[in-house]
Chains A and B, each alone.
Chain A
Amino acid sequence: QSVLTQPPSVSGAPGQRVTISCTGSSSNIGAAYDVHWYQQYPGVAPKLLIYADTNRPSGVPDRFSGSKSGTSASLAITGLQADDEADYYCQTYDSSLSGYVFGSGTTVIVL
């Protein structure tokens, strides 16, 4: 069972906006540790999508955005496209575990 909880899946039509939540606790997100997001296609390694809550690495479209409040973080995808269909994971540090933790993962389905 993951320390960070994400919905198993979210879906939307092309062009729509979807959001993925990542709920933690006072020992991780609530302790102000940075939250990062990764995108993963089947059979390949994850790719960094958002770092330090809200920042996009070079090359990541501005359709992807991150936010954080309290013990939760969110990833938003606007202008949904077919190739956004992938798994998305949040990640942060947990002081109780003295290590890094990942969310349970969310599959984005483009209808």
Chain B
Amino acid sequence: QVQLVQSGAEVKKPGASAKVSCKASGYTFSNFYIHWVRQAPGQGLEWIGIVDPTGNNRRYAQKFQGRVTMTSDTSTSIVYMELSSLNFDDTAVYFCARASVPGSLLGPFDSWGQGTLVTVSS
């Protein structure tokens, strides 16, 4: 079955960077894009961006452009999301999720990772 397993919780200081990983299994990794979504404590879902499994094509939400980098390693089936210049408002659970339509940016998010809590604290 499709599984997305994310890295563990992180605590970062303001101004630092956080890099979260998402390991995919149970399907052909190269066929499906991966989204990143975050959820601040007690808040709703916020889309961060999407990356294709080859890492060649990515699209970021305007809010995060210049601060986020998404990469992919096809040899290990792992996608990474790095967010830099962290501030307190970046404290959130970060999720990876698979785009359901093969080879497409479109379609619903049909499988989700378990989430990674990134806490920004001085």
Q: Evaluate contact between B108 and A102: CB separation under 8 angstroms.
A: no
Q: Evaluate contact between A100 and B35: CB separation under 8 angstroms.
A: yes
Closest residue of chain A to B95, judged by CB?
Answer: A45
Closest residue of chain B to A87, judged by CB?
Answer: B44
B112 at the A/B interface (Cβ < 8 Å)?
Answer: yes
B26 at the A/B interface (Cβ < 8 Å)?
Answer: no
Closest residue of chain B to A33, judged by CB?
Answer: B106
Residues of chain B having any CB pair with chain A under 8 Å: 35, 37, 44-47, 49-50, 59-62, 95, 97, 100, 106-110, 112-115
Known: A51-B100, A51-B107, A93-B106. A105 touches B112 (CB 8 A): no
Q: Evaluate contact between A2 and B44: CB separation under 8 angstroms.
A: yes
A97 at the A/B interface (Cβ < 8 Å)?
Answer: yes
B-side interface mostly? strand
Report how many A-B pairs have Cβ atoms within 8 Å: 63
Count residues of chain A with CB under 8 A from any CB of chain B.
25
Q: Smallest CB–CB gap between A59 and chain B, Å?
A: 12
Known: A97-B61, A99-B59. A48 touches B45 (CB 8 A): no
Q: Which residues from A are CB-within-8-Å of B112?
A: 45-47
A52 at the A/B interface (Cβ < 8 Å)?
Answer: yes
Assembly CA distance A52 to B109 (angstroms): 11
Within 8 A of B (CB), among A84-109: 89, 91, 93, 97-105
Q: Smallest CB–CB gap between B1 and chain A, Å?
A: 12
Q: Evaluate contact between B45 and A45: CB separation under 8 angstroms.
A: no
Closest residue of chain B to A97, judged by CB?
Answer: B62
A61 at the A/B interface (Cβ < 8 Å)?
Answer: no
Name the contact of A48 in the complex, choosing from B47, B50, B108 (C-beta under 8 A): B108
A68 at the A/B interface (Cβ < 8 Å)?
Answer: no
Assembly CA distance A110 to B2 (angstroms): 32
Q: Evaluate contact between B109 and A48: CB separation under 8 angstroms.
A: yes
Known: A102-B44, A102-B47. A57 touches B62 (CB 8 A): no
Contact with B along A39-53 (1 / 0, CB 8 A): 010001111100110
18 A-B residue pairs with CB within 8 Å: A34-B106, A38-B109, A45-B97, A45-B113, A45-B115, A47-B112, A48-B100, A48-B108, A48-B109, A48-B110, A51-B110, A91-B45, A91-B108, A97-B61, A99-B59, A100-B61, A101-B47, A102-B37
